[in-house]
Amino acid sequence: MVRAAFTRWLSAPPVSSWRALLFGLVALCLPTLVRLAVSGVVTGCEFTPYLPFVLLSAILLPWWVAGAVALGAVAVLGGMLGGAPTYGLSCFVDAATIFLASSAVMIGVAIAVRSTVAGLRRRGPDRSADGIVFSLEKGEVWASWYGEHSPMRLGPRRRVSEMMEDFLKQDELAKRLSAK
């Protein structure tokens, strides 16, 4: 079950909808605060505080939100959204280009990993004739089918056992009635 949860997590961004936008805004504000805190020590066109947040965004958010975080960092550091404009500095265009290229690579790798995992899940072994595999985890019964994506929770062990016993009794009765 852990492997199934991990592959589900890798297949699609875990954060979506309005939470993704909120996370993207936080991913832009936190490094901006860090950058402002070291403004007297570090001067010029340093995008370094933004890199880990772009990476986290690429992993946790849809690609377009991660891209917006990277573009927003350039806008914020460039002074386009208020503050002292740094786009006039000679290093800004070069630093922004390198930062955006690095961000694009990080986002691209996250997309590639997701699509690879999704592709592997789709091309699982085709043993549909082999039937259902039941498993038990933390008192819950799960069923999975060969070639399918992830297991399905059936319920607590006691309840599923009762249902299975009832099914087997009904099946036996149906066989006896059809034999007559």
Tokens of 63: 């690609």
**pLDDT tops 70 at residue 41:** no
Task: Compute the average pLDDT of residues 139-161.
Answer: 82
Q: Where are the domains of the chain?
A: 2-122, 128-179
pLDDT digits (tens, 9 = 90+) for 79-89: 764 455 555 66
6 vs 1, higher pLDDT: 6
Q: What is the pTM of this model?
A: 0.58
Confidence (pLDDT) at 14: 67
Q: Distance between CA atoms of 107 and 62, rounded to whole angstroms?
A: 9
Confidence (pLDDT) at 81: 47
Mean pLDDT for the chain overall: 80
